[in-house]
Amino acid sequence: MTIILGLESSCDETAAALVTADGRILAHRLATQEEAHRPYGGVVPEIAARAHVEALSPLIEAALADAKMTLADVDVIAATAGPGLIGGVMVGLVTGKALAHAAGKPLVAVNHLEGHALSPRLADRTLQFPYLLLLVSGGHCQLLHVKGPGDYARLATTIDDAAGEAFDKTAKLLGLGYPGGPLVEKAAAMGNPKAVPLPRPLAGTAEPHFSFAGLKSAVMRAVQSGHYATEDIAASFQQAVIDCLVDRTRRALGESAGVTALVVAGGVAANQAIRAALEDLAAAHDLPFVAPPLWLCTDNAAMIAWAGAERYAVGLIDDMSVPARPRWPLDPDAEKARGAGVKA
């Protein structure tokens, strides 16, 4: 059985995992940087890169020890090669190249977004291509037809902020702290989602894309007004995001004949209210709903190892010249969305 060592270092989580080609997770080690970044209210790239340098090698050693293996037992090295904070991406990719070269193992350079996109197949081995994926994270918000490893058609993207970015900025405006997503969700559970009138940008329009910048600005005005409780703003904001995600995904489903399931992945997919709303949407279209377990939604190395396994199985391997990339779209041929810039 092929064994893949996966390495992840694209943002503020350092991780190493060993996964088999049939989807068994043999070991997973992760080091978070939340405490290092908390005083700044967000990720500081220089701090993140240094932390990756310090953490990655011990995590690899620990993962191998957990699985009672050595590097010689590993068949493939898979490392995130982008997109992400370039300093961190370089740490993981250079480490992966060094291990592959030293041990004479094939290297698979993994798109971090593809790690998220394929992670539902690690969680549910019955999930078949093609499926409609809502990829929601701190840096991206996209709807994609997932046809196979390396084969994606982007249907929609954000023209400004990503959903996770809006959660983090809302948390900062409300003084909730970092990381913002879970804290907004916790506050929202104690608030009234109808208390604050907030916009649903692009909802109901013929345009397929997402927009969250205007919603973020409306939250700022609600906070500055002093008329609303923190919990009510959080609940109203979360409901507005849900309404936008459901509206845009419903539109995409209308153009997705033949898909096997509605799938959600990425850090924002850990939000229980969002998962519940999407599950209802899938049921209304007589489709299975697939979401990875919460720990597999946030950044991790198991999804990178699994994406490496999927790519390796169809012959997609890389040489030592493969670059680290701060930007790396899953569908480079997608039509450019207005205003989307590098998030396209």
pLDDT digits (tens, 9 = 90+) for 53-83: 999 999 999 999 999 999 999 999 999 999 9
277 has a pLDDT exceeding 80: yes
270 has a pLDDT exceeding 60: yes
Whether the CB-CB separation of 334 and 140 falls below 8 Å is answered with: no
92 has a pLDDT exceeding 80: yes
Give the pLDDT score at 179: 84
Whether the CB-CB separation of 154 and 330 falls below 8 Å is answered with: yes
pLDDT band at residue 102 under the 50/70/90 scheme: very high
Q: Which H, E and C letters describe the chain, residue by residue? A: CCEEEEEECCCCEEEEEEEECCCCEEEEEEEECHHHHHHHCCCCHHHHHHHHHHHHHHHHHHHHHHCCCCHHHCCEEEEEEECCCHHHHHHHHHHHHHHHHHHCCCEEEEEHHHHHHHHHHHHCCCCCCCEEEEEECCCCEEEEEEEECCEEEEEECECCCCHHHHHHHHHHHCCCCCCHHHHHHHHHCCCCCCCCCCCCCCCCCCCCCECCHHHHHHHHHHHHHCCCCHHHHHHHHHHHHHHHHHHHHHHHHCCCCCCCCEEEECHHHHCHHHHHHHHHHHHHCCCCEECCCHHHHCCCCHHHHHHHHHHHHCCCCECCCCCCCCCCCCCCCCCCCCCCHHHC
320 has a pLDDT exceeding 80: yes
Tokens of 152: 């994606």
The mean predicted confidence, pLDDT, of the chain is 95
Mean pLDDT to the nearest integer, 40-64 = 93
Model confidence pLDDT, tens digit, residues 153-189: 999 999 999 999 999 999 999 999 888 999 999 999 9
342 has a pLDDT exceeding 60: no
Give the pLDDT score at 115: 97
340 has a pLDDT exceeding 70: no
41 has a pLDDT exceeding 90: no
Domains of the chain from N-terminus onward: 3-117+298-343 (3.30.420.40), 129-287 (3.30.420.40)
Model confidence pLDDT, tens digit, residues 295-315: 999 999 999 999 999 999 999
114 has a pLDDT exceeding 80: yes
* Angle made by CA atoms 3, 325, 39, in degrees to the nearest 5: 95
Give the pLDDT score at 336: 84
pLDDT band at residue 341 under the 50/70/90 scheme: low
254 has a pLDDT exceeding 90: yes
**Percent of the chain with pLDDT strictly greater than 70:** 98
What is the Cα–Cα distance from 16 to 64, expressed in whole angstroms?
9
Model confidence pLDDT, tens digit, residues 123-137: 999 999 999 999 998
Q: What is the pTM of this model?
A: 0.93
**Percent of the chain with pLDDT strictly greater than 90:** 89
Give the pLDDT score at 214: 96
What is the Cα–Cα distance from 38 to 231, expressed in whole angstroms?
21
Mean pLDDT to the nearest integer, 276-287 = 98
